[in-house]
Amino acid sequence: MIILFLWIRRFKFERLSILEAIKLIRIKMTDTKKPIDWHPMDLNAASQLTKATDNPGVVYPFDIKDAPKNLVRMQGLCSYYASAYIIPKTTTGEVTIGGEQLIGRTHGDELKNYLYYFASSSDNKVYFAGPFIDFEGHHIKTSSPVKVETLFGHGPLSERTKP
């Protein structure tokens, strides 16, 4: 709490508003890299995903039933999209991130979007990681139009670029 007070005080000195200071603090806090937990993807979801994302940079709609089994259990699930990266991202681990998945679910009059990475590994399996929720389109009104493409590219390893 003292650190937060000192940060806000410093930003006041720099003539930033409290809202701007909190936004900067939030960015700093989300910049910290924490390990990503990878979960094995079931065979049906992995095969549907790899078949349909053969054209990188394109966002593909999927049937909800083709989402990874762990995610299909989400209450209010209503949409599933995926996009492969043009250049897969290599990590320090044994996985290569091939792209992103976006799962949407309704909660009242709100649509909650969750971003996940999908990756392949040296053991010839497909994995997914997430959810990543630190992006502007995570919570939107169901009545609000949104371009699905703008919801991609906001995971912790992205440089805020679209897949």
pLDDT, position 25: 40
CA distance 66 to 44: 7
Length of the chain: 163
pLDDT, position 14: 46
pLDDT digits (tens, 9 = 90+) for 93-134: 788 999 999 999 999 999 999 999 999 998 889 999 999 998
Evaluate whether 36 touches 118 at the Cβ level (below 8 Å): no
Residue 82: pLDDT over 90: yes
In this structure, the strands spanning 77-90 and 59-61 are antiparallel
The CA–CA distances, whole Å, from 45 to 2, 8, 56, 111 equal 47, 46, 18, 23
Reference 132, options 154, 161, 105; nearest CA is: 154
Tokens of 83: 């996009």
What does pTM read for this prediction?
Answer: 0.73
What one-character-per-residue DSSP string does the chain give?
A: -HHHHHHHHHHHHTT--HHHHHHHHHHHHHHS--PPPPEEPPHHHHHHHHHHT-STT-EEE--GGGS-HHHHTSTTEEEEEEEEEEEEEE-SSSEEEEEEEEEEEEETTEEEEEEEEEEEETTS-EEEEEEE--STTSEEETTS---GGGGSS-STTS-S---
Q: What's the Rg (C-alpha) of the chain?
A: 18
Residue 62: pLDDT over 90: yes
Amino acid letter, 66? D
